[in-house]
A and B are shown apart, each in its own frame.
Chain A
Amino acid sequence: MKKRRYGMVIDLDRCTGCGACSVACAAENNVPPAAPRATERTGITPLRVQPVSNGASGPARREVFIPLMCMQCGEHTPCVSVCPQQAVEVDSATGIVTQMPQRCLGCRYCMTACPYHARYFNWWDPEWPAGMEKTLNPGVATRMRGVVEKCNLCHSRLHAAEDKAAAANQREVNPADYVPACVEACPTGAILFGDLADETSAVARAARAPQAFRLLEKLGTEPKVYYRSNRPWVRALAEPRTVPAKEVQRG
């Protein structure tokens, strides 16, 4: 089986900030309803949508909605290098940064190391109202209190697609069989997903386009989540902030 490098290109010009990806992700991955005391950081949001403005006021003001999740770093992956338990690894076959809750000790070094704040700690045991546990996705185990979790590009869907391919005696996964929940849920088709290693794939072509960019690219972690926008101010959000000369002189 050839080595794959799964990734996505998110068209920020098409994102309406509806949050369908966020809810679909939580349903797919058996994320429990937020505990009453949960906050933006203590709740579990493997995929969240962040509104960011261009800083202007009046009619010139514009916002962009940026879906944020694990960026699936490919090089010098910060979370992998700090984990004392080898609970995080980059799957060499798929390029997916996997998280194994069974190994996780809950030290949260990975959360500190992640430059994208894409990791969440289970501060509470997962709880659902009586009977609602019947609606849990059988493909994904629930995580208990004390472990870290994050987006794993719907790993259970990859397993199902690989099983299907094996049953059909095929070596490669059919791209149509492996689509993460957020990609499937997006009502505007803003998220393009596929194998970046396949130069001919639509996602690889989109990632090479001049409008494509990655967040915090200067860190050299080679994220496999790309964004694209026709708007220069949106692309500039990912670039290093340059300090004006006057500020430098003032010290």
Chain B
Amino acid sequence: MKPSRRNLLALGGGAMAGVVFTPLPWKLLDDTAIWTQNWPWIPQPARGPVEVKAAACSLCPHGCGLQVRMAAGFPVGVSGAPAHPVSGGALCPLAFGAHQLNWHPRRLHEVRRRGRAASWDAASMALRAAAAEGPVAVIDGRPGRGASAILRDFAGKSGAYITAPGPEERSLAPYAAWSGVPASALGYDLESARTIISFGAPLLDGWGTPGRFTRLWSTHAAGLGDPELRLIQIEPGLSHTATLAWRWVPARPGSDAALAAGLARVLVEERLVPAKGPVPATSVADAAGAAGLPADAIVELARMIAQRAPALAISVDGEPAVAALNLLLGGGIVQRRETAAPQAAAIAPRAVVIDATVPWEYEPASGAEVFRFAAWDGGGSKADWLLPAPGFLEEITEHPSAPGSAVASYALSPALMDAPADVRGAAAFVGGTPADAVLARCQEIFRARNGGLYRRGAKDAVPLASLESAARLQDELLAGAVWVDDPAGSRKVRCELKEWPAAAAGTHRGGWADAWSAPVLPPLATKLYQESNLREVPARSRI
């Protein structure tokens, strides 16, 4: 039979119809799915030996212990260091993506003067010229470091050394004023408290060291009808902390001072606490009116507070009336055994140098020429000079006592990767040698011989006396050990309070993004904000 055109078309059509019933199209689709896994533009993880190194998080002053997984010389994962004496293995959500920050699009790689590229020499000359014309203020976000001593010495020559307090230190400001001890050396004795009255402090949402209060709460309070540790949250809205608290008291915004005074009045009048110090003039009825609560509720709340002592009152704003209530309840404020940063006298500086440890939002209240160190450009800066600083894990960082902690501590974090070529820190810029300053701080601790050294993963401390030298102490610290003072070294603070304090206008209500010095968030955290309804997007730069 001679094949015809009709036969050819029938064969073609039959073949096309038949192939649908064979595995071929599915195999082709399957193979396409496999091939497209390997397009050249799909990023592939780097290969290389994986090792775990000890470090500490430098993005807020709490210095949580990290375990950093390294592959091919780069950090590929971060987790909490178990049994860390400061953070107890816990981290805030931001820390889990912090290793990606050094490649954030807003990373600073060059000196900028009012938005234009400049040089280190030009910045140095500008600072020298400014110093010749008037005083220079240096602002440090983490006092107590060896590098802080360099900044303090530089400022001491012709200006003022100023510290930028974080949320915990701001809440301790009234005690600093009444005791004369700088807030940077004060802390809360949370561990001894059995009732905590929080006036808006986000205790379970990033206030303080992540592993400190949350661990206490999860062990002694979470899910219990009558917990060993009672958390009473006084706050207008249902925050994360309020919803998890033993009792939530929805008082009106701005009524903290009146409510604290009303509670104090009941405590004294009903002799629920030993009468000491001044008594507020505010009546319970006035307090109830201001707070929008029934007077009975205030009386009941005061009785509840007195029921399980010791009680500790914490105000997120540093509200003096709350601090006075706390003193009436017995205090719970301790002074750590360490050299506190001196409080500077107010000056009108010609120039201001802001260290990279100061949160981006900080703005000095002056018309001075501002030299701002930062690893990332947060945008909207009023700084005249933007000076690129080393980023996350790019330099040896020091971690003095966490703000608000009850015991002094000191840790070092090694540089786990190379910093870009043209970056430097404020201490080096003003002429200091940070490496020498770190060793000097280690010598200071070694000479005092207080406390002990918690090696990586160890639950018990090694006495400092067992080390042969300060250099050895530094090596141990760089390997992941943490020096912690003897708790007996901290002492209760004595405050002189002559009259019940007037209310102060509070403004700070921030959670765990508040103390971050970086103006950007890890991209994975921005993802968390974008795709979950857990919390609002904070005012930080996103990718």
**Residues of A near any B CB (own CB < 8 A):** 11, 13-14, 16-20, 22-24, 26-28, 30-31, 33-34, 38-40, 43, 45, 48-51, 58-59, 61-65, 85, 101-106, 125-147, 181, 184-185, 187-190, 229-231
Q: Is the interface of B mostly helix, strand, loop or mixed?
A: mixed
Chain B residues numbered 206-227 whose CB sits less than 8 Å from any CB in chain A:
206, 210-211, 214-215, 217-218, 222-225
Give, as a whole number of angstroms, the nearest-CB distance from B77 to chain A: 6
Instruction: Indicate if the CB atoms of A140 and B528 lie closer than 8 Å.
Output: no
1/0 per residue B363-399: CB within 8 Å of A?
0000000000000000000000000000000000000
Q: Is the interface of A mostly helix, strand, loop or mixed?
A: loop
Give, as a whole number of angstroms, the nearest-CB distance from B403 to chain A: 18
Q: A133-B43, A140-B45 are in contact. Are A38 and B531 (CB under 8 A)?
A: yes
Instruction: Indicate if the CB atoms of B526 and A22 lie closer than 8 Å.
Output: no
Per the bound structure, the CA–CA distance linking A59 and B543 in Å amounts to 38
Per the bound structure, the CA–CA distance linking A105 and B28 in Å amounts to 11
Specify the chain B residue showing the minimal Cβ separation from A179.
B79
Instruction: Indicate if the CB atoms of B45 and A187 lie closer than 8 Å.
Output: no
Instruction: Indicate if the CB atoms of B105 and A101 lie closer than 8 Å.
Output: no
- Across-interface contacts of A58 in B (CB, < 8 A): 250
Specify the chain B residue showing the minimal Cβ separation from A26.
B524
Specify the chain B residue showing the minimal Cβ separation from A34.
B527
- Across-interface contacts of A106 in B (CB, < 8 A): 33
Rank and list the top 3 A-B pairs by shortest CB-CB distance, nearest first: A13-B223, A187-B90, A33-B523
Per the bound structure, the CA–CA distance linking A136 and B249 in Å amounts to 45
| Of B93, B105, B215, B240, the contact of A188 (CB 8 Å cutoff) | B215
Per the bound structure, the CA–CA distance linking A213 and B47 in Å amounts to 42
Instruction: Indicate if the CB atoms of B218 and A102 lie closer than 8 Å.
Output: no
Q: A26-B97, A59-B250 are in contact. Are A189 and B45 (CB under 8 A)?
A: no
Instruction: Indicate if the CB atoms of A135 and B531 lie closer than 8 Å.
Output: no
- Across-interface contacts of B72 in A (CB, < 8 A): 134, 138
| Of B41, B76, B210, B522, the contact of A136 (CB 8 Å cutoff) | B76
Instruction: Indicate if the CB atoms of A16 and B214 lie closer than 8 Å.
Output: yes
Asked if B29 CB lies within 8 Å of chain A CBs, one says yes
Give, as a whole number of angstroms, the nearest-CB distance from A146 to chain B: 7
Q: A22-B532, A136-B46, A185-B91 are in contact. Are A33 and B524 (CB under 8 A)?
A: yes
Give, as a whole number of angstroms, the nearest-CB distance from B205 to chain A: 7
- Across-interface contacts of B103 in A (CB, < 8 A): 128-132, 134-135
- Across-interface contacts of B71 in A (CB, < 8 A): 137-138
Asked if B290 CB lies within 8 Å of chain A CBs, one says no
Asked if B119 CB lies within 8 Å of chain A CBs, one says no
1/0 per residue B283-313: CB within 8 Å of A?
0000000000000000000000000000000
Question: Please, could you name 9 A-B residue pairs with CB atoms under 8 Å apart, sorted by A?
Answer: A22-B532, A33-B543, A34-B527, A40-B532, A102-B37, A129-B523, A141-B45, A144-B37, A181-B79
| Of B43, B96, B204, B206, the contact of A185 (CB 8 Å cutoff) | B96
